[in-house]
């Protein structure tokens, strides 16, 4: 299905033409019928002679209602630019043409209406003015069709032109990202909330969970209609009405986006190449305030020029647009900006969730140019400039490329001046993309920190992952992947989960060796002796790391042999009794409460026993 939009100056006969083509009066408001003027969006549908079904969106022509016009033309495949024969080209004709140009609407048919109200020799003059208007625009060779809606003249020819041009319009890509910009909200007794709009980007089905953006309200699709017919599943490019469950009518409004859960994330800022119309009333300086329009959404915004101090009419420049209110957009969406009740420019969203850039910075501009190039590998480099590292799933989502193809692109970068590195999680569930130079720098920093640690702590086997993560300020969400990819470097993670340098060897002096031997022998012979030989905490930690000493939570140490003996005695006791207390353990081992408690807490830590009240039970 295709969606057609009518545009043009107020009272040039848009609604009358739609009614003549479809038999449906698109003016649905009492005030519209009373004033004979379209105020808000109107909708109709028809079947063309070829059998194609079309939806028609009727937009208001009066300058006071231009915001409603912008809400209606964001998702159309073909526009009918309406020009009344008795008035010819008027101000809103020009503004609407500028909007169609900025939104890159694929095709336009110019329809001269009210041909029965002028002398036939005036029609060529109207057509001449139209051609002068279109000259130099992307629509310079557009079809011009003359009709009289009231006299039913020229309507069949117009339908043939529509039928001829629609196949060359952009196909409705199903990229598995269904969104519906809401243009109407109402409630039906017995059904609840109903929202309407044009479905883009993917397919929706009855029963699916949905999210209303930017409020992040979750609901469910209870029913779908298109052209007043119930459907179970419907694809992109269709005008639809959704009956929503779990959403009140007061919780959703025009400008919201309906999508599948977790598909769209609202943003405060976008990157774009902003274009000003040649006939814009003025240029714009840095930090210029505008009203921003995308699909049915609008908000106030500020334009930060990135590569110039002023943008002149008819030119373009890199810009970052910062919103007053969050909007739910994706890359590739087109938009319009207005100032002082005039449409002045627009463009295509290059990057959503844009980070604040430095102005007049060559690195920033080169990254934006690369991203604009549509070369996937260049776009990856551009994304890494502002968001390194990035996951392959994020790249896949932002570039619309399968993750397997992302990995092939990474591999192809090996011969480039700046190769890329792909790091995998231990279970291969996630992969991180770094520039090789960045990754090497991280490895060098990790190695340096470990060397510093070993120099300060020569008897310790390694440093904790958390300490290194903190020193390098690594994101906790990705640090595990970084550490999992260190085996090919000069550092590795040992069996105790510590980062160790491959070059580090613990060397003890002969006196230290004798000291340790004497300490372990005394501890083995009498684990509960109060006056054990004393050794430094560093040597104790070394023995623990070597597995020759077991440290309990009470800062009490046992040799492995003694600990195993105590464990066997306690588990034998528990196999015959339901539980054991600290006092019973003390008596069983002929020791003090301090040692009994230390042993029990160690058994708890090793998942041998579990505390229940004042007793321990066997697991």
The b/e string for 149-188 (b: 16+ C-beta within 10 A; e otherwise) is: beeeebbeebbebbeebbeebeebeeeebbbbbbbbbeee
- Answer whether residue 417 shows pLDDT above 80: no
Residues 104 and 81 in one domain: yes
The strand pair at 2-8 and 78-84 is best described as parallel
Residue 187 lies in a domain: yes
pLDDT of residue 120: 87
For 595: left if phi > 0, alpha if psi spans -120 to 50, otherwise beta; the answer is: alpha
How big is the chain, counted in residues? 619
Determine the Cα–Cα distance for residues 400 and 176; give it in Å rounded to an integer.
10
pLDDT of residue 122: 92
- Answer whether residue 496 shows pLDDT above 80: no
User: Picking from 183-197, 476-490, 547-561, which range would have the lowest pLDDT averaged per residue?
Assistant: 476-490
pLDDT of residue 30: 41
Closest Cα partner for 27 from 41, 13, 17? 41
- Answer whether residue 227 shows pLDDT above 50: yes
Residue 436 lies in a domain: no
Closest Cα partner for 326 from 292, 359, 362? 292
Residues 298 and 205 in one domain: no
- Answer whether residue 390 shows pLDDT above 90: no
Q: What are the backbone dihedrals phi and psi of residue 368, each rounded to the nearest 5 degrees, phi first? A: -65, -40
pLDDT of residue 256: 93
Burial environment of residue 4 by CB neighbours within 10 A (0 to 12, 13 to 18, 19 or more)? buried
Across all residues in the chain, what is the average pLDDT?
Answer: 85
pLDDT of residue 286: 95
Sign of the CA dihedral running 86, 89, 90, 93: positive
Side-chain-facing half-sphere of 597: CA atoms under 13 Å: 7
Residues 250 and 315 in one domain: no
Determine the Cα–Cα distance for residues 260 and 214; give it in Å rounded to an integer.
13
pLDDT of residue 172: 67
Q: How big is the chain by its Cα radius of gyration, in Å?
A: 36
Residue 614 lies in a domain: yes
Residue 605 sits in a domain whose CATH number is 1.10.10.10
Residue 407 lies in a domain: no
The residue whose two tokens read 């209303």 is 212
pLDDT of residue 35: 35
- Answer whether residue 175 shows pLDDT above 80: no
Residue 448 lies in a domain: no
Residues 569 and 599 in one domain: yes
Neighbours of 140 (CB within 10 A): 10
- Answer whether residue 69 shows pLDDT above 70: no
- For residue 136, give the 3-state DSSP assignment: coil
Burial environment of residue 251 by CB neighbours within 10 A (0 to 12, 13 to 18, 19 or more)? middle
Residues 351 and 289 in one domain: yes
pLDDT of residue 28: 46
Band of the pLDDT at 32, cuts 50, 70, 90? very low
Residues 211 and 285 in one domain: no
Neighbours of 101 (CB within 10 A): 17
Residues spanned by the domain of 210: 179-259
Residues 8 and 136 in one domain: yes
Residue 480 lies in a domain: no
Residue 329 sits in a domain whose CATH number is 2.40.30.10
Average pLDDT of the residues in 503-530: 84
Q: Which of 113, 145, 168 finishes a domain?
A: 168
Residues 48 and 141 in one domain: yes
Residues 164 and 205 in one domain: no
Higher-pLDDT residue of 535 and 152 is: 152
Sign of the CA dihedral running 260, 265, 268, 272: negative
Residues 161 and 205 in one domain: no
Burial environment of residue 246 by CB neighbours within 10 A (0 to 12, 13 to 18, 19 or more)? middle
Band of the pLDDT at 528, cuts 50, 70, 90? confident
| pTM score of the predicted model | 0.64
Higher-pLDDT residue of 359 and 383 is: 359
Residue 378 lies in a domain: no
- Answer whether residue 62 shows pLDDT above 70: no
Residue 132 lies in a domain: yes
pLDDT of residue 611: 92
């Amino acid at each position: 299905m295709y969606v057609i939009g009518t545009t043009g100056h107020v009272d040039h006969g848009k609604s009358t033409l739609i009614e003549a083509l479809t038999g449906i009066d698109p003016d649905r408001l009492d005030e519209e019928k009373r004033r004979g003027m379209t105020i808000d969006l109107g909708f109709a549908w028809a079947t063309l002679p070829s059998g194609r079904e079309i939806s028609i969106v009727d937009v208001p022509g009066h300058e006071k209602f231009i915001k409603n016009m912008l809400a209606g033309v964001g998702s159309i495949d073909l526009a009918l630019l309406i020009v009344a024969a008795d008035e010819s080209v008027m101000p809103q004709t020009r503004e609407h043409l500028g909007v169609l140009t900025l939104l890159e609407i694929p095709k336009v048919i110019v329809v001269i209406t009210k041909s029965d109200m002028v002398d036939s020799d005036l029609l060529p003059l109207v057509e001449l003015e139209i051609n002068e208007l279109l000259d130099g625009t992307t629509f310079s060779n557009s079809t011009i069709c003359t009709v009289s809606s009231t006299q039913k003249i020229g309507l069949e020819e117009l339908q043939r032109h529509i039928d001829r041009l629609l196949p060359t319009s952009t196909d409705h890509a199903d990229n598995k990202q269904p969104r519906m910009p809401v243009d109407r909200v109402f409630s039906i007794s017995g059904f609840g909330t109903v929202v309407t709009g044009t479905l883009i980007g993917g397919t929706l089905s009855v029963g699916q969970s949905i999210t209303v953006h930017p409020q992040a309200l979750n609901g469910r699709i209870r029913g779908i209609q298109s052209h007043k017919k119930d459907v179970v599943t419907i694809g992109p490019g269709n005008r639809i009405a959704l009956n929503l469950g779990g959403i009140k009518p007061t919780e959703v409004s025009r400008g919201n986006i309906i999508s599948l859960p977790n598909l769209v994330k609202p943003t405060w800022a976008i990157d774009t190449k902003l274009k000003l119309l040649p006939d814009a009333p003025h240029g714009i300086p840095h930090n210029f305030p505008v009203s921003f329009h995308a699909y049915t959404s609008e908000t106030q915004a500020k334009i930060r020029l990135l590569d110039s101090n002023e943008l002149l009419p008819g030119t373009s420049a890199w810009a970052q647009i910062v919103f007053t209110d969050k909007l739910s957009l994706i890359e590739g969406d087109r938009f319009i900006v207005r100032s002082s009740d005039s449409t002045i420019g627009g463009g295509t969203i290059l990057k959503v969730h844009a980070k604040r850039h430095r102005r007049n910075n060559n690195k920033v501009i080169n990254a934006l140019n690369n991203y604009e190039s549509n070369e996937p590998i260049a776009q990856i480099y551009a994304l890494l400039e502002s968001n390194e590292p990035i996951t392959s799933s994020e790249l896949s989502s932002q570039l619309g490329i399968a993750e397997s193809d992302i990995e092939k692109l990474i591999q192809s970068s090996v011969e480039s001046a700046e190769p890329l590195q792909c790091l995998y999680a231990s279970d291969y569930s996630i992969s991180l993309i770094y520039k090789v130079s960045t990754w090497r720098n991280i490895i060098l920093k990790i190695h340096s920190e470990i060397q510093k640690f070993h120099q300060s702590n020569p008897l310790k086997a390694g440093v904790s992952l958390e300490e290194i993560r903190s020193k390098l300020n690594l994101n906790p969400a990705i640090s595990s992947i970084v550490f999992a990819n260190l085996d090919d470097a000069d550092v590795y993670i040992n069996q105790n989960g510590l980062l160790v340098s491959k070059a580090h060897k613990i060397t003890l002096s002969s006196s230290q060796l004798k000291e340790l031997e004497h300490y372990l022998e005394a501890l083995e012979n009498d684990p509960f002796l109060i006056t054990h030989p004393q050794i430094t905490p560093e040597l104790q930690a070394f023995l623990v790391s070597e597995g020759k000493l077991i440290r309990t939570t009470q800062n009490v140490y046992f040799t492995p042999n003694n600990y195993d003996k105590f464990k066997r005695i306690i588990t034998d006791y528990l196999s015959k009794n339901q539980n054991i207390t600290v006092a019973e353990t003390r008596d069983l081992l002929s020791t003090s409460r301090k040692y009994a408690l230390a042993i029990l807490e160690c058994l708890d830590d090793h998942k041998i026993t579990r505390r229940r009240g004042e007793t321990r039970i066997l697991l």
